Structure 1
Amino acid sequence: MSASKKRVWGWMAFDWASQPFYTLGLTFIFGPYFATVATQYYLTGGMTETAADAQAQAIWSAGQTVAGLLIAFTAPFLGAFADNSGRKVPWIAFFSLVYVVTTFALWGLTPDGASLILMLVIFYAGFFAAESALNFVNAILPSLGNEKEVGRISGSGAAFGYWGGVVSLFLMLLIFAENEQGVTLLGNPPPFGLDAEAREGTRFVGPFIAIWYIIFIIPFFLYVRDDRNAPSKSTRLGAVWGDLMQTLRNVFVRKSLLSFLVGSMFYRDALNALYAFGGVYAALVLNWSLIQIGVFGIIAAIAAAIVTWIGGICDQRYGPKPVIRAAVWVLVGVSFIIIGMSRESLFGVVPFAEGSQIPDLIFYGCGICIGGAGGALYASSRSMMVRHTHPDRPAEAFGLFALTGKATAFLAPALITLFTIMTGSNQLGFVPVIFLFLIGLFLLRWVNKDGDRAEWSASSQQ
């Protein structure tokens, strides 16, 4: 295998290594488990079931909001600093260490909720580390191929990551995560003497995520190196800040880039809300068990892997913009279904018989759409950003991409929290998500399908 191919495979190994945090941690195992523990904790404190459900969702969204704001305001500066120094890999190594320590510590969320807020803080500290490392990994993408190849590489890398999510979730469900009867999907108690009554099988998700990352990040650090010939500039804080401010000023005169950054800010915020609250919705509205949510996760992750890979091929052939548009429309449709469906009926018009499995089947279909469309949207957005990236400032550019992806990270969770409290309904709490998707879709009208980095690079050299 050539050095360039090893570098591409090493780069894709990061997606495989880090995906379990999102699949197991954010969405399908730890997130729903946290919601269940939090709800029980507030019920014990005297709240009604509806109020406890709403409060559990509210503190989860609050954690996401704070973490998103921290990422938003640190990513551009860290990216500018990395570009000026010409080094990205040391930053990835540092955030990897933080990631491993925090995810391992998630073992501490006991069923009595005694450490509820501490575990919330630790989880989102891990989220901050994962997202920060990802920004630097994304900044390496432009150097892996030409403009057309980058779309396929981005899609293949994301698809590879989703397969990592599938395998890790499958192992977690088969071997560790126990249901209410204290057994795993295989019908056995958790191994290694883990106490099912204390939910130690489910709590093992934290150490599992950490160990998985330690093993599978090795190819990245073996084959991915910083370019020794990369241009370097002063790393004095004043110089870095000055370069970042100049880049920000340039954004406002680049219509295509500005439209893409702002538009993606809205639709990525909405997508992250679907990811973060999908498992919580299943637990609180459909009363799914952790095993059911895990099976849902496997189906969604398989769909994500397949559709994201197909999306990468379409990106290479047609460009990222059509892929982004199609994915957003699918997610709008899914959001409408989530708002209108409960155990009792669909939009209050189509009633479901008591004990009907139709709501479950519909939500499995939603999972396929969220996984597939979400994966393709992520990969093609990354590809579109490359088409707007100056070759000498990739980390700074993806720092701005992170800024716009997280600057309003508080918006969807905050709006969901507000609508949930106002309506007293977990379903109607999702109404703002639809508007965020539609705003992002509208702003894509002014995005050049081929990006603007060629014309910007030419003008900056004159």
Structure 2
Amino acid sequence: MVNRIDWTGTRPAKASKRGIWGWMLFDWAAQPFFTVVTTFIFGPYFVSRLTEDPVSAQTLWSNTATISSIIIAVLSPILGSIADQSGARKPWIGAFAVVKIASLFGLWCAAPGSPVIYPMIFMILASIAAEFSIVFNDSMMPRLVDRTDVGKLSNTAWGLGYLGGMIVLIAVVALLAGSPESGKTILGIDPLFGLDPHTGEDARITGPISGVWYLIFILPMFFFTPDAKRGLPFVAAVRSGLGEVRNTLGELKQRRGIFRFLIARMIYQDGVNGLLILGGAFAAGMFGWATIEIGIYGIILNVVAIFGCLIAGRLDARMGSKTTVIVSLTMLLIATAGIVSTGPGFTLFGLVALPTADTGSLFGTAAEKAYIGYGLLIGLAFGPVQASSRSYLARSVSLDEAGRYFGIYALSGRATSFMATLIFSIVTYMTDSSRFGMATLVLFLAGGLIILIRTPYPADRA
């Protein structure tokens, strides 16, 4: 029987306010990649403008995410265990930062009509580096604050990340993204740096911008946030870490609560990842939204997400991570069902008819407004379901096993995430409808929720 963890009320490490803020700024630094590159700007550009066939492009974009997910799922537990053996996390984060930043700069070359293989490779490398860095950063969290405060810390950091992503998104939409018709930004000015919207430069620039942003704002974490002491040398850490992976997987048979939580999270995170990767591209394909519309939609969601994380931080502190995740998943289920039930002239699968008239303004049809309404629920729940899942695990493991269990945690978030994008691709291809593909995400969100309801909290109680 595995001994239960008893660290209630203890402070595992003394971290200064600067150290805590340095750690939270990692989310601020990392989020623009997911916001402006993966979801709202470059992803939709890849689908709608890089090739002449949006349906095939959507499948390629989904396949890119699938490849990334498989690699992340296989290697994350190994790297997490190596981190526990080698001790210090910062050198790993620094190494992966080099890969991520270089790959993001490579996206500038993704001009319309150019070979899609290169941006696919750069996206795969950037995604892998980003996720591996998150494994090491997350495993630092339990050392910074008391166990009772990790939920508030996690949600605050996630909200800070959304704020950073929103600022970059606003800058792109207001100053860099020009209308294909007029060439002007939403402010009525020429795009900065002479960017040409007709060649996709306003979307392609999001890669280098996200790379520079990441480089600047991870520095406080390196300077101020305390790291674990150095452990084994690299080769010995790798050898020992590989052994720890086997031990950890075997140990999960005894730690049934943690095992159940990881299974639940594996399933519902597939749905969450699917919404992140495919949501913006789905809207672009349905309504023909260009960079400006997608960008404003993303800004709306990010504003709501910031408040969602702040509210969830208080809810997590008072009612616990499990309740926060359950509430968030329920909201995501409602929102996803609403999105796939909406089309030109209708919502709720045709039970509610909508006017088809287009006012000519942004989001000029009633269906677009309904889509945004469902998107607000996603914005409120998207951050908390991930941030409180992170604190759920942090409350359930000890400090010396945080690296390997956050590696398994990353595995649970990616082990079958290729299934969500793969099933989307298959269903979209077979039906020639991305709406049916998006509908499959409901299965992942609902399945994970059902298992989570029966999982103990904290998970080490079983």
Is the TM-score greater than 0.5? Answer: yes
Q: Determine if the alignment matches structure 1 residue 36 to structure 2 residue 48.
A: yes
Distance 1:140 1:394 in 2: 8
Alignment of 1:266-345 (within 5 A): 266-345=267-346
C-alpha distance in 2, partners of 1:155/1:161?
A: 10
Matched with 1:49 is none
1:160-214, CA deviations, whole angstroms, 9 ceiling, x for partnerless residues? Answer: 1111011111111111112212221211221223333323222211111111112
| Unmatched tracts of structure 2, length 5 or more | 1-13, 359-364
Deviation at 1:345, TM superposition (A): 1.9
Contact 1:86–1:232 (CA under 8 A) maintained in structure 2: no
Q: Distance in 1 between matches of 2:393 and 2:231?
A: 20
After superposing the two structures, state which structure 1 stretch, 97-106 or 191-200, moved more: 191-200
CA contact (8 A) 1:183 1:190 kept: yes
Counterparts of 1:233-252 in structure 2 under 5 Å? 235=236, 237-252=238-253
> Partners of 2:419 and 2:447 in 1: how far apart?
13
One-letter identity of the residue aligned with 1:164? G
Mapped partners of 1:424, 1:236: distance in 2: 49
1:203 equivalent in structure 2: 204
Equivalent position SS for 2:437: helix
Relative to structure 1, the CA distance from residue 250 to residue 234 in structure 2 (aligned partners, 3 Å threshold; closer, same or farther) is farther
Does the 8 A contact of 2:15 with 2:226 survive in 1? no
Task: Give aligned pairs, total.
Answer: 441
By how many angstroms is 1:225 displaced?
Answer: 3.3
Question: Contact (CA 8 Å) 1:139, 1:394: kept in 2 or not?
Answer: yes
Q: Which residue of 1 aligns with 2:170?
A: 170
Question: 1:355 is matched with which residue?
Answer: 357
- What amino acid does structure 1 have at the position aligned with 2:23? W
Aligned position for 1:414: 422
Q: How does 1:178-197 map to 2 (within 5 A)?
A: 178-181=178-181, 182-197=183-198
Residue type of the alignment partner of 2:414:
K
Unaligned 5+ segments in structure 1 are 44-51, 457-462
Task: Give the aligned residue type for 2:413.
Answer: G
Q: After superposing the two structures, state which structure 1 stretch, 171-180 or 321-330, moved more.
A: 171-180
Shift in Å, 1:234: 8.2
Corresponding residue for residue 159 of structure 1? 159
Q: In 2, are the aligned partners of 1:159 and 1:306 still within 8 Å (CA)? A: yes
1:374 corresponds in structure 2 to: 382
277-286 or 443-452, which deviates more: 443-452
TM-score (norm 2): 0.92
1:316: how far off? 1.1
Q: State the alpha-carbon separation in 1 of the partners of residues 370 and 66 from structure 2.
A: 29
1: distance between equivalents of 2:436 and 2:228?
Answer: 50
1:404 matched to 2:412? The reply is: yes
Contact 1:68 1:410 in 2 (8 A): yes
AA aligned to 1:219 is: P
CA distance in 2 between counterparts of 1:233 and 1:413 reads: 35
Once the two structures are overlaid, the 10-residue window that deviates more, 178-187 or 256-265, is 178-187
- Percent of aligned positions that are identical: 34
For 2:262 and 2:107, how far apart are their aligned partners in 1?
A: 33
Contact 1:343 1:359 (C-alpha < 8 Å) held by counterparts: yes
CA distance in 2, matches of 1:200, 1:232: 45
Measured after TM superposition, the shift of residue 417 of structure 1 is 1.1
Q: Give SS of 2:433's match.
A: coil
Q: What is the CA–CA distance in structure 1 between the aligned matches of 2:458 and 2:353, rounded to whole Å?
A: 47
User: Could you report, residue by residue, the CA deviation over 1:73-130 in whole angstroms, capped at 9, with x for unpaired residues?
Assistant: 1111111111111111100000111111111111111022x13121111012101111
For residue 394 of structure 1, give the secondary structure of its aligned residue in structure 2. Answer: helix
Task: Identify which of 23, 32, 40 aligns with 1:11.
Answer: 23
Partner of 2:127: 127
1:230 Cα deviation (Å)?
7.0
Q: TM-score, normalised by structure 1?
A: 0.92
Mapped to 1, the partners of 2:15 and 2:243 lie a distance apart of 36
RMSD: 1.8
